[in-house]
């Protein structure tokens, strides 16, 4: 990267501080979403895309909308289905232009090609025409409108889904989301706080949302450009060893993810108001995994290098009993006649449970042995297939 300055300018530091203040303001409306906001801040600094995984009803749309409201621009929000038409995202056909001059183009005003922040729920439900256009918008920040190629001001696209798809073509699209976070219902560990927050919100006469501008798109564009001046010399060897370790453990990381991972480190350093990155700035990499089954392996490797920074402060620790119950339930989902793909999916989930058990309940040998036995039994189903 370009040689680094000794310190960031007052303009850059002021923008970073206002961005973090926005995150703290939005956090007041939610329970258990601190890490999601930390990652959103990194995503908009790095101009990268983020994927939120989890069940409906966990406040993903409201979270992104409130956060984007402080960026001086309403987010473009859509729920996608297999029936969604490209015009619903990119704009309707410009009928007068087509009838008058025979020119085919769409009217993009107020649509995704004009958005700074976009949130697409159930993003993997859409068809190929939409996904192919989204690839160009996300990667190149351009939109092909008829014979014209228009630049788009997109800073970050946030997608949401219940789970990652199994279709290889969709997985290739999913790889464009550099950051991933699984959001669990807050009621699992903080029910009382959730109820209290909901009651307070119901009594409030103030309109929902943080719609006042805190930091504008132009400032975010500048922060994104400033990442080229971050000094990564102290963390590049550590990053290299991290990637080598993960690949050695069978973790799936595309070349794209490996290369762009350093941009997340630079964004974390800028967010911490440092020009020279430190090992602690590796923390966003705990969320650049591709396969959810590999997430515990990636998180463990990153946290050993970055320390506790970046751990989810909101995620409740699951008991050994609950982890074992989930492993037993997973094992019942497949039998000797199950398709290999279904067995493989269960194995991935069991592997993730084993890593969670090791990290949260170290020393529980009987529990670890039972999960290992369940994994062996499930593996045997593949041999019979």
CATH of the domain at 17: 3.40.50.300
Q: Residue 89: its pLDDT value, please?
A: 96
- The last residue of one of the domains, among 187, 203, 219, is 203
pLDDT in tens, 30-50: 888 899 999 999 999 999 999
State whether 161 and 289 are in the same domain: no
State whether 162 and 272 are in the same domain: no
State whether 360 and 302 are in the same domain: no
State whether 147 and 242 are in the same domain: no
Is residue 214 situated within a structural domain? Answer: no
| 54 pLDDT above the threshold of 60 | yes
Is residue 208 situated within a structural domain? Answer: no
What's the total number of domains in the chain?
Answer: 3
- The last residue of one of the domains, among 257, 276, 306, is 306
Across residues 347-370, what is the average pLDDT?
A: 76
Is residue 19 situated within a structural domain? Answer: yes
Is residue 209 situated within a structural domain? Answer: no
**Which residues lie across from 142 on neighbouring strands?**
151
State whether 277 and 332 are in the same domain: no
State whether 240 and 337 are in the same domain: no
Give the Å distances, CA to CA, from 103 to 88, 98, 132, 147.
20, 5, 22, 9
Q: How many residues does the chain have?
A: 385
| 253 pLDDT above the threshold of 50 | yes
Q: How many CB atoms lie within 10 A of CB 313?
A: 10
State whether 288 and 358 are in the same domain: no
Burial call 106-131: b when 16+ CB within 10 Å, e when fewer: bbbeebbbbbbbbbbbbbbbbeeebb
Q: Residue 137: its pLDDT value, please?
A: 95
| 123 pLDDT above the threshold of 80 | yes
State whether 177 and 43 are in the same domain: yes
d(C-alpha 259, C-alpha 239), whole Å: 11
Tokens of 52: 């939120």
Tokens of 335: 């039998």
Is residue 240 situated within a structural domain? Answer: yes
3-state SS, one letter per residue, for the chain: CCCCCCCCCHHHHHHHHHHHHHHHHHHCCCCCCHHHHHHHHHHHHHCCCEEEECCCCCCHHHHHHHHHHCCCCCCEEEECCCCCCCHHHHCCECHHHHHHHCCCCECCCCCHHHCCEEEEECHHHCCHHHHHHHHHHHHHCEEEECCEEEECCCCEEEEEECCCCCCHHHHHHHCCCCEEEECCCHHHCCHHHHHHHHHHHHHCCCCCCCCCCCCCHHHHHHHHHHHHHCECCCCHHHHHHHHHHHHHCCCCCCHHHHHHHHHHHHHHHHHCCCCECCHHHHHHHHHCCCCHHHHHHHHHHHHHHHCCCCCCCCCCCCCHHHHHHHHHHHHHCCCCCCCHHHHHHHHHHHHHHHHHHHHHCCCCHHHHHHHHHHHHHHHHHHHHC
pLDDT band, very low/low/confident/very high, at 55 (cuts 50, 70, 90): confident
Give the CB-side neighbour count of residue 251, counting CA atoms within 13 A.
28
Is residue 313 situated within a structural domain? Answer: no
- The last residue of one of the domains, among 280, 306, 332, is 306
pLDDT band, very low/low/confident/very high, at 209 (cuts 50, 70, 90): very low
State whether 100 and 197 are in the same domain: yes
State which residues form the domain around 357. 320-384
pLDDT band, very low/low/confident/very high, at 316 (cuts 50, 70, 90): low
State whether 133 and 17 are in the same domain: yes
- Is pTM beyond 0.85? Reply is no
Judging by beta carbons within 10 Å of its beta carbon (0-12, 13-18, 19+), is residue 317 exposed, middle or buried? exposed
Mean pLDDT of the chain: 85
d(C-alpha 1, C-alpha 232), whole Å: 8
State whether 138 and 180 are in the same domain: yes
Is residue 28 situated within a structural domain? Answer: yes
Q: Residue 56: its pLDDT value, please?
A: 82
State whether 367 and 301 are in the same domain: no
Is residue 3 situated within a structural domain? Answer: no
d(C-alpha 194, C-alpha 72), whole Å: 28
Higher pLDDT, 254 or 205: 254
């Amino acid at each position: 990267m370009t040689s680094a300055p000794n310190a960031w300018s007052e303009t850059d530091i002021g923008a970073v501080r206002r961005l973090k203040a926005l995150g703290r303001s939005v956090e007041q409306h939610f329970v258990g979403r601190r890490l999601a906001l930390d990652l959103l801040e990194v995503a908009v600094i790095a101009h990268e895309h983020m994927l939120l995984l989890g069940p409906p009803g966990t406040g993903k749309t409201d979270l992104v909308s409130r956060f984007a409201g402080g960026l001086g621009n309403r987010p473009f929000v859509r729920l996608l289905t297999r029936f969604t038409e490209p015009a619903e995202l990119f704009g309707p056909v410009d009928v007068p232009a087509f009838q008058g001059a025979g020119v085919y183009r769409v009217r993009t005003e107020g649509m995704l090609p004009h958005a700074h922040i976009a949130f697409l729920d159930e993003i993997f439900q859409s068809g190929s025409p939409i996904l192919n256009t989204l690839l160009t918008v996300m990667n190149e920040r351009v939109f092909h409108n008829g014979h014209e190629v228009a630049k788009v001001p997109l800073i970050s696209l946030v997608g949401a889904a219940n789970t990652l798809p199994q279709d290889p073509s969709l997985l290739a699209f999913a790889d464009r989301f550099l950051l991933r976070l699984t959001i669990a219902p807050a009621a699992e560990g903080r029910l009382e706080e959730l109820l209290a927050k909901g009651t307070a919100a119901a009594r409030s006469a103030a309109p929902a949302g943080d719609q006042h501008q805190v930091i504008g798109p132009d400032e975010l564009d500048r922060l994104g450009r400033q990442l080229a001046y971050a000094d990564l010399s102290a963390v590049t060897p550590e990053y290299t060893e991290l990637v080598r370790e993960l690949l050695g453990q069978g973790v799936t990381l595309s070349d794209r993810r490996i290369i762009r991972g350093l941009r997340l480190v630079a964004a974390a350093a800028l967010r911490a108001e440092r020009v020279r990155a430190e090992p602690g700035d590796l923390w966003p990499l705990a969320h650049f995994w591709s396969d959810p089954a590999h997430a515990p392996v990636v998180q463990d490797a990153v946290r050993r290098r970055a320390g506790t920074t970046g751990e989810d402060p909101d995620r409740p620790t699951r008991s050994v009993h609950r982890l074992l119950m989930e492993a037993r339930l997973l094992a019942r989902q497949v039998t000797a006649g199950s398709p290999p793909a279904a067995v493989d999916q269960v194995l991935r989930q069991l592997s993730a449970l084993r890593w969670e058990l090791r990290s949260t309940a170290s020393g529980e040998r009987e529990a670890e042995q039972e999960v290992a036995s369940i994994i062996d039994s499930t593996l045997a189903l593949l041999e019979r297939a």
